[in-house]
Structure 1
Amino acid sequence: MKLAVVGGGSTYTPELIDGFARLRDTLPISELVLIDPAAERLELIGGLARRIFAKQGHPGLITTTSDLDAGVAGADAVLLQLRIGGQAARLQDETWPLECGCVGQETTGAGGLAKALRTVPVVLDIAERVRRSNPDAWIIDFTNPVGIVTRALLQAGHKAVGLCNVAIGFQRRFAAMLDLTPADIHLDHVGLNHLTWELGVRKGGPEGENLLPQLLAAHGEAIAADLRLPRAVLDRLGVVPSYYLRYFYAHDEVVRELATKPSRAAEVAAMEKELLGLYGDPALDEKPELLAKRGGAFYSEAAVDLAAALLGDGGSALQVVNTLNNGTLPFLPDDAVIEVQARVDRSGPVPLAVPRLDPLYSGLIAHVTAYEDLALDAALRGGRERVFRALLAHPLVGQYDLAEGLTDRLLAHNKEHLAWA
């Protein structure tokens, strides 16, 4: 089995490598190719990856290349973990929206739109080159904004599934709180990428006992602290929102915070510099503790589980993925991309049935889906007016003067990445 990782020079990659090494019985990789145009970074990370495999006794071959076509040739699955423009572009995404009094964040709001505009054309080009090399290869997208990027891939006819680590993070956290194994925890996870709620926490599977009420009763304070929301909000909702919902539920508070503290991009850039220094140590043969602060916790486990189900021997697995709605949420179009529990096998994911949602959730999901429609249109066809329309439709913007100001700033800060700008 051959896997290719586009963006293999990311400082995330050792997390992925560690998972591949530990879970080799689940996903028996014979060849792993790390692909990245940043040759110096790639060589550092490739060296560490080989040492991790060697230490854990994994027999697979790890190679590195800056040649995309050569790297994806013959791959059974291609993982995408790109950041077009690097941390410098992320810093801009987190900064200029604040000038308009809006959230500055790399996947939500105006910053998320900027990232989509930079990313979608590049990902579609990569996917087309993968298809020419091996039309049967699965594309697993971890590149944000995952929902919009996955929809672009599926709309273009690619075999693609989107992946996020929010659900697996909740699964691991709740299992520890309930003194259960992660395999014992099934989440009723519903929404869009970075706009989800845990409507139930079930023991043993989709039909199991719902432990969410007792989880909130016993651990509500700790969960609320993790989400940086008041405990009363969780009690009133009776569900657990993703931490990205704080941008919606406490927008003005978040804007004030972001305006008075160092950006996450600056923190990550400093962390990446330190990580790359560690990766260059020829004695290092495991992922360093510092990597846990970089983000992407449990990404490797989620990626292994998904790839194993897609490439396995005919079995299936339940996993939270980003995939086509196809009637799962009846208030959305079939070609919307939703993030829900699905049964995954070699033919792809099939979402599990979802009960009728409270309008408190379905209304926001529908609103953000409409924004994503317009965002994808802007990413595919360009044009200032399409950018403005997407921003005006976003529930975190929604006013024409804000949309105008944000459009001007988005285009000014992204000219080098937008061929049409």
Structure 2
Amino acid sequence: MRSSRARGTTGCAKAWRERIANIVGRCEPVILLPCNLIFEVVFIVSHLMASSLLEKLKQLSPRERSGALAIQRLDYQIHYTILRIVEMLKTDRPFVMAFDYFDDLITVDSLDNPNTIEFIQVKTRNTGNWTVRAISREVGRAPPSSIVSRMYDHVVKFQGENLKCFFVSNALFIVKNASGGQVRFHKFDFGQSAVHDSEIEHLNAAVEKDFKPPLIDNWEASIAVENCPMGLDDQINSTRGCLEAYLDELADGAAIRVKPLYESLFNTIHAKSGDCEWTNDNLQMLKDRSIGRGELEALFRTAVKYGKPSFLQYWGDIRSELSKSMGTLRLMELHRDAVEFHAKRVAGRADALQLSLGVRQAFKKVSIDPSLGILELVQQVSRVVETDGVQSVNHVNAACLVEICEVFNETELFGTSEIAPQLEDERG
């Protein structure tokens, strides 16, 4: 039994002493100047330390260059990235995310003078849980050949920097704790929790197949495993539900259309992951494949500003037209059912999402005449909506009212459905 945090403290301190000694060595001519320049020395040393991560990003070329093909086959990585974006936007942390660069996803606090970096590797499983043995097995022919070896590769290349390597999956993780018990975790940080000696031995054995010993002392403290609760079968619904909930917070409860925002994020991440040209200018390539907090905040502001659903926005006009052909009580029932359907859809309720999909599919089966009144359109569409038999006629009509209003008022808010074009409009 041993604690990852307790082990390796001496080695870590030694590494920092060596790093500081190297930096001071590079500044030796300045140190020999009169003592009244001591503050200048401190500034220079601090600057060199702060910029070392930037220099590594400039000099080191990414190992992974085949992710573009994988990402076309696996949307899970993009959907996880969108969830991660929302999570980061809820904090005050500055961040820039880069896609398919060194790993599936990396996050730095800045591109001008970065001090922290996170590497995120995303993999899915159809069944079962992950174990230390599982992430230590070979998954590729060329080294680094295992999941854990690929994480160690980052630790080697960015040794001495403030880094963390995450392995993320839809499956849970089983880790043997310090007392030898098998425990299931949603998240486990090897730098924060004590683990059984055998688990560390498995990790080291896997890494030593690809890297010549001795290994970096206490390297496992830089890795963590994390479960993403999003399932394989409900990726789109889960992601859109997350976006809708966050937009609801930003808009103080005013429901916002999420489809244009979702498509803009998805298409942008996909393009920056696969379509960017690989060059010898590593820093420029990193910038081409990344997007920062400021750009994302502008995108979400645009979504809030222009994305209010037409059903809620134009209910006054809709009510005036409907009141000519139905009584007050029936009108109140329709409004109540429509508001309830919209709220459930925003919350990601499976029944509401399924009904929404059924109504949208019904649009393709009928010839919609925009000159018809809203009630006639609702009746025309509702007649061909396929349901599971659970939804009442009133609920189907309410869903048709909401979806019809949104379909006829939906526009491409974001131009080409990528971020760059609409950001120019936002600044203007």
TM (normalized to structure 1)? 0.22
Instruction: Determine which structure has greater relative contact order: mean sequence separation of CA pairs < 8 Å that are 6+ residues apart, divided by chain length.
Output: 1
